[in-house]
Amino acid sequence: MTAGDVGRVAAIEGVSAPTPWSASTFANELGIPFSRALVAEVEGQGAVACAVWWRVAAELYLLNLAVAPENRRQGIARAPFSREVLPGAGAEAAEQVTLEVAAENAPALALYEAFGFAPVGRRRGLLWLRATMRSS
């Protein structure tokens, strides 16, 4: 993600989350040394999805994953996990990956479950999920 992507990413987030991040929140992530921000692009459309995660100590924490409504159910959300987040966790020797998701978000829950995430906690309509990384 670059500063040029922030407006589009904030627009995607605005229609994807009940309490969306602002453009300034995304922009701030670009300056945090342990933050990683990624966009998925489709030719002719530009950015259609984003993922933001932190690598802190032995843990990766997925902060944000959003896909434009017209691009959902096309496998775009799988790419950050299969190509960046989980391989990066292994390369950086992260022991676990944690995230939170709305308890009623069945498509997201199915995605995370497919990657080995399991519930570890709950609060106000949210589930905390965690996947333990296998050592190589």
Burial letters for 9-27: b for 16+ Cβ neighbours within 10 Å, e otherwise? Answer: bbebbeebeeebbebeebb
Q: What are phi and psi of 46, to 5 degrees?
A: 75, -150
C-beta contacts of 104-107 below 8 A and 24+ residues apart? 107/72, 107/73
Catalytic residue among 92, 100, 104, 113: 100
DSSP 109-131: HHHHHHTT-EEEEEETTEEEEEE
Residue linked to tokens 């391989």: 87
Q: Could you confirm whether 112 is annotated as catalytic?
A: yes
Cα four-point dihedral sign 37, 41, 45, 50: negative
Catalytic residue among 41, 95, 112, 113: 112
Active-site residue list:
100, 112
